[in-house]
Amino acid sequence: MLPLLKKELSAFFSSITGYIVIFVFLLINGLVLWVFHNNLNIIDSGFAYLDPLFEISPWVFLFLVPAITMRMISEEKKTGTIDVLYTQPLTDFQIVAAKYLAGLILILISVLPTLIYVYSISSLAVSAGQTASGATLAGLDSGEVFGAYCGLFLLAAVYCAIGIWASSLTENQIVAFLLSVGLCFFMYLGFEALSSFSGGFGLFLSNLGIDSHYKSISRGVIDSRDIIYFLSTVTFFLLLATHKLQSRNWK
């Protein structure tokens, strides 16, 4: 499985794809959070917090993650190289897992540079909080920031698993991309929207969606129920992708 993982990562960074993904993520977040005047602009808000980053990132990932995953299996099917993978000493799940981990690593690399925002905002908060006596006011809530980053990573992990499954369904990358975007959007906000029309089932439907768990963990409270939700959702879609690959044996 490790050679396949290395091959996928090499494919990303030997072409312009990996660099574009990282650049686009950082560019959009940088412009919205620091340059464009809007209600998400951190400087305009006058508060030392990173909430705007974690509000906009799920929407950026909604398109960026499917763009990463759309080719992973669909391109193998289209070019016929999937048959070569089948001849390797790999199980179908290992093929899916290697491609999933490659996408997840690229996402993680995209997120890591945003840690400079934590340092910048903490520095601004300390600087702005200087008093006449030289004392400083507290900056960022480190617990909340840690929880928010955990929530963002877990959300991206679900998006990535959905994208891998969508890619396993078709040879067409565009179809895989659109299917992945639609399903990620539904998982993020669809259940939340349905819960408002479901009376007594509202809480149950809300808990099926990503949004309520993402908001919960982003408050800095690491709840085992939220962790279980994300991990089980990732596992579910990876098993669906594996099942799709195994279906070739039924023909």
* Angle at CA of residue 228, ends 217 and 147, nearest 5°: 20
Place 15 in a pLDDT band, splitting at 50, 70 and 90: confident
Per-residue model confidence as pLDDT tens digits over 181-210: 999 999 998 887 777 776 667 777 788 889
Roughly how many angstroms between the first and final C-alpha of the chain, as a whole number? Answer: 26
Q: How many of the other CB atoms lie within 10 Å of CB of 210?
A: 24
- Between 127 and 6, the more confident residue is 6
* Cα 26 to Cα 38: distance, rounded to the nearest angstrom: 18
Place 152 in a pLDDT band, splitting at 50, 70 and 90: very high
Place 250 in a pLDDT band, splitting at 50, 70 and 90: low
Would you say 121 and 50 are in contact if contact means Cβ atoms under 8 Å apart?
A: yes
User: What's the structural domain count of the chain?
Assistant: 1
| Residue 53 is assigned to a structural domain of this protein | yes
| Residue 188 is assigned to a structural domain of this protein | yes
| Residue 251 is assigned to a structural domain of this protein | no
* Angle at CA of residue 217, ends 23 and 139, nearest 5°: 70
What angle, 0 to 180 degrees and rounded to 10, lies between the N-to-C axes of helices 51-69 and 173-185?
150
| Residue 179 is assigned to a structural domain of this protein | yes
Q: Which of 30-34, 91-95, 195-199 has maximum average pLDDT?
A: 91-95
224 pLDDT more than 50: yes
Question: Domain range holding 122?
Answer: 2-246
Tokens of 152: 């963002």
Tokens of 24: 């686009």
43 pLDDT more than 50: yes
- Nearest CA to 1 out of 94, 82, 92 is that of 94
